[in-house]
Structure 1
């Protein structure tokens, strides 16, 4: 059987592939199921006898030229442009793709298994696609469904997370054993029901607020914390819809709260130790000075009396400074994050920092253009305070350094935005990096030890993170990472 007798439009076939296509045509002809050889552009090159018969073609009839004509003749179950057609996905992935379709021919509904197998040259270029159809009898169909059920039970039913397959209308197509156990319903009472309504009946709270692909829901009895993730199935498959995964994260959240509490206790212990030390020293000094002054009032002259009083007043001043520090400790405790335009905020900060740098003869560079149309969920005043506090630390680190330089950058990184402040100051030793965010920890003689602690507290309450990297005598980088707000979720009246 020669290639010229098999493909209808021989001029469209590159001559160098004639031999390969001829062999493929012979392979197609030898198949017992209806099979068609297609070009990568979906032009029909060859059809075997079962395919011709299925399409109603006689031995001398010309082949249809395109897949559209095949569909029009009732041979192909996939209409033109159908996202369920396996051919485009097979060409895209380079792998065979199989889908199950339902088709109606002459008023009779039939189940069809459609397979598309791409054929590529050694350089990866596809030369053809073998398109095979198999009409499934009840026996074969039951075998296919049984195999699918076994595969599902071996995978999804073995997973502790709740898994639902749903249509785009949230109607449950299938669910695993963990899902049925959580709902307390048999399989027959779950299939075909609305997933949101099933979750409500199971006492899950927060279903009405579930709009996106990720959500946190709560169970009322017992009190559960559930993470929900929804994934859309491939549009190139025969069934389109969603895979919804519900994960019980109650224990994980408890561990997180425990870790937060332990961190709070460690910080509180650090604060108490600091306050005890800072109050104890001046308080003891005041007590000693006043005791000596009282016992020796008559024997001391006025100059000596005034000296003891001045010493006590200096220690009282130290206590006043401590109270001022503790006031700063709680000043930014409450933040009010809201959709904030990052571009204008960073432009304002850049102008403020640049003016201060110029006055101190520090070279300042910045690159914040990427923040132009970027929005974040932030407290504008608190974020400004954070950046200015970090800049102040960088300025102090410049003291005595040759060619001092500070740089402010803003970069978009997928769903996040990264704001970094870099300086070439004296840096911080590795053993101190783990301590810099502790409250009241400082390596400076005049420092309060609150700046970076407050910065971390405020950034965390905005849903972000802050980290520091440093190389002694070379550079220090402080990076703030905040989640971006998608365009559709920005507040229309917010300009901050």
Structure 2
């Protein structure tokens, strides 16, 4: 054994220690996607470097051959480990865990068996002999076709893994562009070394220079994976998000080409259409719909689809698919099930008609008869009739308010420029005539806002009436001022304040059996304020002050 460490062995040992340093730097990321396979890659690389460095110091043919076999195992397994890392790192765990990929592991296993047993059959190499080279124990032997095939398979694994990482990371854009270049370049030096050695090309063909060429490979990996935290922001997150955004969601999604032929279906779309994706590919999407055709024009439409013997109604939205050059390739078609929504709308329409006509008409009859009885009866009986008349009157009034809100709508057709002082004065005069009390309007005459006047009138009417109805000898002030782009409208009274349970119902946004509001007035205030794009606030410290902040110039898009 030559105890003078030659430069070839020193270079191999340097690569081994560099690999260990890279491994230590990545310790905090070992639980990241693909990281364990990357660790396996570096461990294989480390073993290869140290074993070959030792081999260059050993001139005993038997021990030298054994160490050469370890180097061969490094060549065989480093490609498979790196490809596995690339699949995990880029989020392709479905491929990594698939049965066919496990079958691919047979290739390095078979290569391992052939290398270990080569002295028995010599199908990988033959004619092994130790050749002193540059002070090192070189090895001269003929690599046979099976051996070359084994090396080529390993290099293909490395190449494919490099392409996966390079392509995926580049797709991040400028974030990791230089790091992606480093990842793409890092396998080139050792890969070239393997191919030159296998082909017997180079200044020292009896020595495999691959382990020395791991040094630039390690430096590039340190730059890519340690300096820039590429393991911290890995592509697997985005790939999982893309899969969840289409594949895992409950909303049916179909990808079609410009002719409307199916290119892809997510599982929800397969269930909706009652078709297996493989059977549906290249078939027109319209062929799976019941009676309704979808025009592939990027627009929105509605479609009736029969699934499981039941008809469902869907709102269909299309989004154009384009490549980076802007060329249109097809459409993403999203189906939103609106069957239940349509049924609710129809039930509400029926209920609304019933309340508007039947209940209102019957209430008016009861109110009129109660009023007649109150006038004809005397004493306690007259009081009972008057109570009935007042209760029915309140019921009719609440129905009128609800109907007014329903009929007012929320479309952009109702947008107008409104003189707030004039609108408020009209509301106040009407309320004062009905309920009495003192109401003052403190709004500048020139204050105008673009809004939906019908809803704004409902809002003001209910605020003023609420104060006059519930506060004896009420003193109410209606004020407004401009604050930036908003109009701040206030209605104040001198009463005891709105009860906490009433405000609690409004804040929660729903009523319960044990905690409910006393009427529809405050609900109308909240609904109209929200529809007008405003913010609502109640201050009950000294009387009640209701503040509504409304946009002064509301656009049609905002109203819609």
Q: One fold, TM greater than 0.5?
A: no
Report the TM-score range of the alignment, normalised by the length of the smaller protein. 0.3 to 0.5
Counting strand residues as a fraction of each chain, which structure ranks higher?
A: 1
TM-score by length of 2: 0.38
TM-score by length of 1: 0.41
Counting helix residues as a fraction of each chain, which structure ranks higher?
A: 2
